[in-house]
Amino acid sequence: MPSTIQSIELRNLKIEDYKELKKSMIESYPEMAESFWKEEQLEVLLNKFPAGQLVIVVDGIVVGSALSILVTEDFAFKTKTYKEITGNFEFSTHNPAGEVVYGIDVFINPKYRGLRLGRRLYDVRKELCEQLNLKSIIFAGRIPSYGKYKDEITPKVYIEKVKKKEIYDPVLSFQLSNDFHEVRVLQNYLVGDTESLEYAVLLEWNNIYYDDSPKLINTTKSVVRLGLIQWQMRSLANLEALFDQAEFFIDTVSGYGSDFALFPEFFTAPLMADYNHLSEAEAIRELARHTEAVKLKFQEFAISYNINIITGSMPFIENEHVYNVGFLCKRDGTNEMYRKIHITPNEVFHWGITGGDVIQTFDTDCGKIGIVICYDVEFPELSRLMADEGMNILFVPFLTDTQNGYTRVKHCAQARAIENECYVAIAGCVGNLPKVNNMDIQYAQAAVFTPSDFAFPSNGIKAEATPNTEMTLIVDVDINLLRELHEHGSVKILKDRRHDLYSLTKK
């Protein structure tokens, strides 16, 4: 390594670079000294795919390069030798319509190793893959240290030991550290590669931003705006008064361009004041008579205000059982029901509520979401099953009477965000409701929680409302940050689960 370096430049290859590139390549592969690229071969590559040919220049000297072509994924996976993938080294296999970058070569002059220049080449190749909306990067990597172990272990065992860092391989160890995963072992891949005994490992890096069906309209948004409604319990004269108050909030959060409006659990409870002379169990059944009308009105609001509405929850009677349910009213006019699965002792004792039996996620124009009601968020299995289905945002309408109950909801919601690498939005009711039995006092603080990693707030809290005050909370969440977290986070909780020891499935 030179003692002093004045400048480092990473740029596209030019044919004028050939003389220096040839010298660096010969020095990089001393065991295959006659296998350097010819000038006419590089001219072909530059004519076919100029963006895919990269060089590292240190103080005006070309010290490394990354060369590539485009191929189809099927061709990349089924081709078994270097000669085949390169079209007998003439690159006739380059396919401008291919969805995969195939790495033909990467090398750094030995004199300049230790500066992480190879990583720079890999990073720029990944950026190219993302910019061109290509599916992945694939190539076959040599395993030059395998020759030392050929009499002891098979290539398969060798790869596993490299992965576990029991063996260091200068090529494979580097590629695995750059987020490539092995696909399979190839035999007789590169003629003359005596160090690897002509074995190679087919490797792949997946572009998590790849879109195989780009659309001009109705595309899934990457930044989603959430409108959380911290609902004040108050006396309401009738159902129309409830609709007026609800519409005020929907109009407000829609006016700020929100994609979702989240209402709290049992925000319709003020309507039970008319039935306070009845038992709690009878009053909740009377309140359930309004549920269909509330659903229909919120469907209308969702369309007219162009917003997806999560209606908190309300009682619903089916086959004489009372359920705690809500509706996802989408701005396309459709709606879907969700049910509270775990019922609190209070709900069972006073209202006789029955738990639902459906665990599901919902597809929206902002991606896949999950919804659990209050107590459900304290059971991690539900949201984990939803995360396995691709949930990005978990919505939690809740109702808690004391700060103790709220603390359980809050901290469990934060845990769900971290362990499932998703956003969690919670919204509850505040204030007092003196004329409704079993609904006297409320405590809430709406919030949006995030995973805990460098791209997110250090405390995992994106935003919080003022406690026990009627208000709205408008929050933007970036779905692309979740995708980045899944692949490149400080920890990868979903990926690192030990499926060989345990599993979680729906019954």
Please list the active-site residues: 265, 340, 374
Residue 90, judged by CB atoms within 10 A of its CB (0-12, 13-18, 19+), counts as exposed
According to DSSP, the β-strands at 353-354 and 321-329 are parallel
Q: What is the 3-state secondary structure (H, E, C) of 157-170?
A: HHHHHHHCCCCCCC
Give me the phi and psi of 122, to 5 degrees please.
-65, -45
**What are the distances in angstroms from CA 426 to CA 93, 250, 306, 407, 447?**
53, 17, 21, 12, 5
Pick from 131, 136, 146: nearest CA to 103: 136
Residue 314, judged by CB atoms within 10 A of its CB (0-12, 13-18, 19+), counts as buried
- For the CA atoms of 418, 137, 16, 171, what is the dihedral angle to 10 degrees? 80
**What are the distances in angstroms from CA 352 to CA 186, 290, 400, 491?**
64, 18, 18, 43
**What are the distances in angstroms from CA 68 to CA 13, 160, 176, 213, 468?**
11, 27, 19, 24, 59
- Collapsing DSSP to helix, strand or coil, 136 comes out as strand
Tell me the C-alpha distance between 344 and 342, whole Å: 7
Identity at 235, one-letter amino acid code: S
Contacts of 101 (CB under 8 A, 6+ apart): 52, 68, 69, 70, 125, 128, 129, 132, 134, 136, 137, 138
Give me the phi and psi of 180, to 5 degrees please.
-85, 145
Identity at 162, one-letter amino acid code: V
Residue 6, judged by CB atoms within 10 A of its CB (0-12, 13-18, 19+), counts as exposed
